[in-house]
Amino acid sequence: MPCNVLVTAASRRVALVEGFKRAVSASGGGRVVVTDINPLSPAVHVADRAYLVPLSSAPDYLDEIAEVCASESIDLIVPTIDDELELFASARTGFEKRGIRVAVSPAETTAICDDKQRTCNHLRAHGVAAAQTWRANDVPADAAFPLFVKPRVGRGGVGAHKAATPKELAFFANYVPDAIVQEYLDGPEFTIDVLCGFDGTILSAVPRERVVIRAGVIDRGRTSADPALLDLARQTSSALPFAGAINIQCRVVDGRPVIFEINPRFSGGISLTIAAGADFPRLLVDLTLGRPVPPAVGRFVADLWMTSYEASIFLDDDRVRALSASAARRRMQEVA
């Protein structure tokens, strides 16, 4: 049975698009369609089809997505960026009435995870290890330095700074917009890729050590079967209702993993998780087709290393001009 998948804001997510292409091919056929605002985005040129759409902040964004879904007989929507998660979460019921699954967590969950202070406070209130977090003007006088200053809402490590002294804290708290302050977690950093079913059941979890990070994304790393990290994934999925892929960001301090944020979407390093045998795209396609997907938390290849490099796609000028001139709602390309 074919399954047509729409990956929104595809941008540089080539590995994710290719993962879904393999998944639909192995599951009975179908195509992977992407949307983006830029015809030069790499994922546009590896998808089966691509559409030019406005930013998710545009008032007609969801209408544009709905038109693409109707044109392409989409069965599954996979949102990929933080900016659009709450939007799709709020619209999920409407899409499901049309027979389209949306791999997004509930609106309340996405709202909590979009706010780093609210995330940590919610987890701590439910007994899950998370970093102590304060607003910049509420840091207790006895807070131990160093501390970590970052935007309350943001991604990719942008605007994050270590404050070693009260003077540095005061500077960065004033410099960073809408700043929060967290306890400094001194230990190896991990991402735990987690997949939950549409009913919230945790199906898979793969911890990955972020050995080298470039522009907020893992560049070199390895999978880890640490039971404490897998337990943390289970505890987190009990503390918040999730659906689809999420990634938990944590550091291991004195042998204890402590969360500092959660992103309820696919991670930038998902290719390592897929290569380790936890094929999230294939599992999502199977779920969409109504096939049974039994939980398999911890079933993956441990200590599998990934080392990444840049790759390029080359286009002639005529193709670039043609794509750039494409109007919204018009199919930009079809890859044979």
Tokens of residue 321, six digits:
């001009």
pLDDT of 332 strictly over 90: no
pTM above 0.85, yes or no: yes
Asked, colleague to colleague, whether 5-103+312-334 and 186-307 share their fold, the answer is no
Which superfamily is assigned to 132-183 in CATH? ATP-grasp fold, A domain (3.30.1490.20)
Q: What is the pLDDT of residues 223-242, one digit of tens each?
A: 999 999 999 999 999 999 99
Q: What is the mean pLDDT of residues 326-335?
A: 47
Residue 331, pLDDT > 50, answer no
User: Domain-by-domain residue ranges, the chain?
Assistant: 5-103+312-334, 132-183, 186-307
Q: What is the pLDDT of residue 324?
A: 67
On the question of pLDDT at 144 being above 70, the answer is yes
Q: Quote the CA–CA distance of 28 and 2 in Å, as a whole number.
A: 5
- Mean pLDDT for all residues in the chain: 93
CATH fold label, 5-103+312-334: Rossmann fold (3.40.50)
Overall average pLDDT of the 20-40 stretch: 96
CATH level 2 (architecture), domain 186-307: 2-Layer Sandwich (3.30)
DSSP secondary structure letters along 112-146? HHHSHHHHHHHHHHTT--B--EEEGGG--TTPPSS
Q: What percent of the residues of the chain are helix, what percent strand, and what percent coil, each to the nearest 5?
A: 35, 25, 40
pLDDT at 329: 42
- The alpha carbon of residue 96 and the mean position of all alpha carbons in its chain are separated, in whole angstroms, by 21
pLDDT, tens only, 289-327: 999 999 999 999 999 999 998 889 898 887 777 666 654
Indicate whether 122 pLDDT > 80.
yes
